[in-house]
Amino acid sequence: MSAADHTASTSEPTEPDLTPALSEALRRAAAAPALVVACDYDGTLAPFADEPMSAFAAPGALDVLARLAELPGTTVALLSGRNRAALAQVSGAGAPVVLVGSHGSEWEGGFDAPLDDDDNALLARIHAELTEIASGAPGAHVESKPTAAVLHVRPVEDPAARERATARALAGPAAADGVFVTKGKNVVEIAVREASKGAALERLTEQAGADVTIFIGDDVTDERGFARLRPQDVGIKVGPGETAAGHRVQDIPAVVRLLGTLADLRG
Ligand SMILES: [Mg+2]
C-alpha cells in the first residue's frame, strides 16, 4: 500500500499489516454474541526488558484492552507465564480485564487447590537446585511462583554461560519425576502442577460461553494455546517462527492496531 492510499482513507481505520484472511476473521469475531479476547503479555503487548518488572505495555495497549472489556458480551483476559501479582503490577491491568497468571495455574482469587507436603518439598528442592545453577551464571535469577520455580537467563551476557545454565536446568531439576517443564525464550519453568495456556483458554471459553475466542501470543508456550483453539476461533502469532496459529502479525504495535480495529468493529 502506498502513502497516498493512507492519506486517501484517513476517515476509515486502515490496517496495512492485516492479511485479508485476518481482516475477515476479525469481522466475524466482532459479530459474535459472546467473544473472548485473550492475549499473552510479554512479547505480545509489551516489549521485552532485561529487568522483568520494567517490561511495560506498549503505548495504547492497555487503553484498547479496557475499551474492549467494556463492550457487551466481551471477555478480555491477559494470559501470562508471569505470576499473577507480577502481571498485575507490571501491566497495570485490572478488572474488568481478567488476569490469569503462571500459564493458567493462577486465576482471580488465587489458584485452585493448595499444594500438599510432597509438592511443597519437591518445589523447595527444585528452587534450591535452580538457585545453585543461577549462581554459576552471572545475571541469571530464579523466580518463585506458587506452584513453580523459574530460571531466567535473559540478562546473562555470556551466551555460552546462558546455554550452560539452561542445559543444566533441563538435565537436572527439569528431568525429575513429577514435574512439568515449560521452556520459553531464555526461561525454564519447572512446575509441580500442570498448567498450560491451552487448558486456561478452554476454561475461559467455557465460562464466558464464547462463540469465538481470539488468542494472541508470541512464544513457544503460546503454541499450547493455539493448538487447543476450535475451528471458529482465531489464533494470531506475533513475529516469526513456526506456529499452529492460523494468522500472524509482525510485531507488538501491529497487535495494538488490530485490537483497535476489533474494538471499532464491535463498538
Ligand atoms: Mg510472550
pLDDT tens for residues 201-242? 998 999 899 999 999 999 988 999 999 999 999 999 999 999
Of the candidates 191, 210, 225, which is a domain's last residue?
A: 191
Residue 88 burial by Cβ neighbours in a 10 Å radius (0-12, 13-18, 19+) = middle
Name the domain boundary from 191, 220, 247.
191
Which of 13-22, 41-50, 127-136, 183-192 has the weakest average pLDDT? 13-22
Separation of 256 CA from ligand 1 center, angstroms?
A: 15
Give the three-state DSSP class for 42: strand
Reported as a single tens digit per residue, the pLDDT across 72-115 is 999 999 999 898 899 999 999 999 999 998 888 777 654 355 68
Distance CA 216, CA 163 (A): 28
Tell how strand 180-184 and strand 187-191 pair up.
antiparallel
Please tell me whether residues 80 and 101 are part of one structural domain.
yes
Residues with C-beta atoms within 5 A of ion ligand 1: 40, 42-43, 218-219
29 and 101, same structural domain? yes
Residue labelled with grid coordinates 545453577:
133
One domain for residues 132 and 98 = no
Whether residues 75 and 203 share a domain: the answer is yes
DSSP letters for 94-118: -TTSEEEBGGGTBBTTB-SS---HH
**How much is the average pLDDT of 26-30?**
98
Residue in this structure with the C-alpha cell 503454541, named with its chain if needed: 223
Ligand 1 centroid – CA 244 distance (Å): 15
Q: How far is the CA of 44 from the centre of ligand 1 (A)?
A: 6
From the candidates 5, 17, 40, 251, which is the catalytic residue? 40
Question: Could you tell me the end-to-end alpha-carbon distance of the chain, in angstroms, rounded to an integer?
Answer: 27
Query: Residue 144: which domain range?
Result: 117-191
Q: Name the 3-class secondary structure at 188.
A: strand
CA of 40 to the centre of ligand 1 (A): 5
Rounded to an integer, what is the distance from CA 199 to the centroid of its chain?
13
- Please report whether residue 6 resides in a domain: no
158 is catalytic: no
Look at residue 77 and tell me if it is in a domain: yes
Compute, in angstroms, the gap from residue 47 CA to the centroid of ligand 1: 9
**CATH code of the domain in which 96 resides:** 3.40.50.1000
| CATH number, position 146 | 3.30.70
pLDDT tens digits for range 179-196: 999 898 899 999 998 778
Residues 6+ away with beta carbon under 8 Å from 145: 83, 101, 102, 105, 106, 189, 191
Q: Tell how far the Cα of 8 is from the centroid of ligand 1, in angstroms.
A: 35
| β-sheet bridge partners, residue 106 | 101
Q: Report the pLDDT value the prediction gives residue 221, as an integer from 0 to 100.
A: 87
Which 3-state string (H, E, C) describes 137-168?
CCCCEEEEECCEEEEECCCCCCHHHHHHHHHH
Q: Evaluate whether residue 1 is within a structural domain.
A: no
The answer to whether the peptide bond before residue 231 is cis (omega within 30 degrees of 0) is no
Q: Is 203 helix (H, G, I), strand (E, B) or coil?
A: helix
Average pLDDT score over the chain = 90
Q: Per-residue confidence at 178, pLDDT binned at 50, 70, 90?
A: confident
Q: How many domains does the chain have?
A: 2
Domain co-membership, 146 together with 214: no
Quick check: is 7 in a domain?
A: no
The helix (H) or strand (E) run that includes residue 16 is none
Looking at the fold, whether 175 and 212 belong to one and the same domain comes out as no
Q: Are residues 42 and 74 in the same domain?
A: yes
Do 17 and 82 lie in one domain? The reply is yes
CA 12 to ligand 1 center in whole angstroms: 30
